Amino acid sequence: MSDITREEVARLADLAKIALTSAELDRLAGQLDAIVDAVAVVSGAVDESIPATSHPIELTNVMREDIPEPCLTNEESLAAAPAAEDGFFRVPRLMGETP
């Protein structure tokens, strides 16, 4: 059983720049302790006779036929645009970029 202390949680919170109250430090110490113990139990279940898998059930990729369909023309696309210029959407300049 791991023993994550309140001081360790406070140190981690400080490194992550997270402000925690005294009550939160106490609560999180217990919760993190339980999580570490649960991971240890799962890690203990690993056996060399069990092959490693990424998923317990075999997955099948479902593919569909790629059928091209008609799309909007350039004029139709720009019809609802607030601003257009030379066949393109016109947008505000970002962060002082120069053209």
Q: 29 vs 7, 16, 45, 64, 95, CA distance in Å?
A: 9, 15, 25, 49, 43
pLDDT above 90 (res 45): no
- Euclidean distance between CA atoms 61 and 55, whole angstroms: 14
What domains can be seen in the chain, in order of their start residue?
6-44 (1.10.20)
Q: Is the pLDDT of residue 53 over 70?
A: yes
pLDDT of 99:
61
Q: Which residue has the higher pLDDT, 50 or 67?
A: 67
Q: Is the pLDDT of residue 15 over 90?
A: yes
Q: For residue 77, what pLDDT is reported?
A: 92
Helix/strand/coil for 76: helix
- Is pTM beyond 0.85 here? no
> Which tokens is 2 given?
């791991």
